[in-house]
Amino acid sequence: MLNFVISDLHVMDRSQKFLFNSDKETAFCRFSEVIFESKGNLILAGDIFDFTGMTPCQNGNLEFFHEVLSSSQLNQEAMNLAGTFRSTKQLLLACLAVYPRFFEVLSKLAEQKRLIYIPGNHDCDFLRSSSQDDLADVLGVAHDCIEWTRQYEKGFSFVVSHGNQFDPPNNTDRGCQNPGFVFTSALYHAVLP
């Protein structure tokens, strides 16, 4: 059986041209046809969803906006989003609303038990079983249809990991609150808006 590996798609609920977008969704759907035809597995090797880019820092974003921007530059909608915390399921549903074909493909692969997921540092929410259950629910599949692992190995010659465990600022062994998570969250919710 063939294994196909994809990493770092960075699916978010807003369009970032340099990350996942509708063109990349179309390319992913075409690529999935090869996976289905070959009866292969899809290994998602982390950072498929950019939850860090969708989750605001717990403190400081609103103060940052007021300190850095003049009153004429303040964007109330961006400020409101920057202060809103959403659950993993809410984040997934927001992504589904923007990229339904992407989720359709994942659902079909999961139904056939051909979807393997290795959480990375941007989608480290999936280290929790409750968040894994959220993805299964959003995909509309049984919870055991997705294989979750930290590293995928097939014999001695095929090993897949995300690699963040080798990068101290992005290591998720103690959870998502690492310096990389905080930096990315600040970037997306304070600097870019």
Q: Which residues contact 187 (CB under 8 A, 6 or more apart)?
A: 53
Q: What pTM, to 2 d.p., does this model score?
A: 0.83
Q: Please write the tens of the pLDDT for every residue from 87-135.
A: 999 999 999 999 999 999 999 999 999 999 999 999 999 999 999 999 9
In the predicted structure, residue 83 carries a pLDDT above the cut 70: no
Q: Sign (positive/negative) of CA torsion 92, 102, 7, 139?
A: positive
